[in-house]
Amino acid sequence: MDGARERLEAHREETVRRLAALTGDYDAVVAASRDTNADDEHDPEGTTIAFERSQIGALVRQARARLVEVEEAVERLDAGTYGTCVRCAEPIAEARLEARPTARTCIRCAARH
């Protein structure tokens, strides 16, 4: 798997940067909600602070899950099983791994589920 480790490391770095930015955004929204007495639930001007906090929280959870996927892919790489489908044990196409470096399944198996 030429370049797999580099792709995974780049994916990890991008995810860590995104997670840091989202965490900062989340903290800012939480701080803003503490600093205001506004009744944002009934503000006709836009989204509520609670909604924003929920949205950013969901993105933080997604980024954390992606980081776990990257770590698991690195473990498969170290174990020599990276690029092998965990369901059918057939090779995962290089193009799929380039597009999704953390892929655990081949396209055929992924399409089944």
pLDDT of residue 44: 56
pLDDT top residue among 68 and 38: 68
> Which residue's structure tokens are 């092998």?
84
pLDDT of residue 27: 80
Q: pLDDT band at 25, cuts 50/70/90?
A: confident
Three-class SS state of 84: strand
Q: How many CB atoms lie within 10 A of CB 76?
A: 19
Residue 107 has pLDDT above 90, yes or no: yes
CA neighbor of 4 nearest in space, from 66, 73, 51:
73
